Amino acid sequence: MKALITPPIDLSILQDAPFICTTEGEYNVDLIRQICETANFSPHILLEVKTLETAFPLFYLV
């Protein structure tokens, strides 16, 4: 079975997108900031929540 190889995603398409993240210092937001920094932009964090479980229903509102 051949492995599927897909081209890299151009993350700069997300530079104007709103982000819902966990509060500062949590793994989620730190990872998002690092990934965005690698793509040469800072994320537009619309809302910070305490847990990811709180964030899931909010994705439908953004």
User: pLDDT for 39-54, tens place per residue?
Assistant: 999 999 988 888 777 7
42: in domain: yes
7: in domain: no
5: in domain: no
25: in domain: yes
The model's pTM: 0.68
Q: In Å, what is the CA distance from 35 to each residue of 21, 31, 41, 44, 53?
A: 13, 6, 9, 13, 22
17: in domain: yes
DSSP, collapsed to helix, strand or coil, labels residue 7 as coil
30: in domain: yes
Q: What is the count of structural domains for the chain? A: 1
37: in domain: yes
Q: First and final CA of the chain: distance in angstroms?
A: 39
* Residue 40, Ramachandran bin (φ over 0: left; ψ between -120 and 50: alpha; else beta): left
The predicted structure's pLDDT at residue 61: 66
Q: What is the mean pLDDT of each run of 10 residues along the chain (62 residues)?
A: 78 91 80 92 90 74 63
C-alpha torsion angle, residues 31, 34, 10, 42 (rounded to 10): 110
6: in domain: no
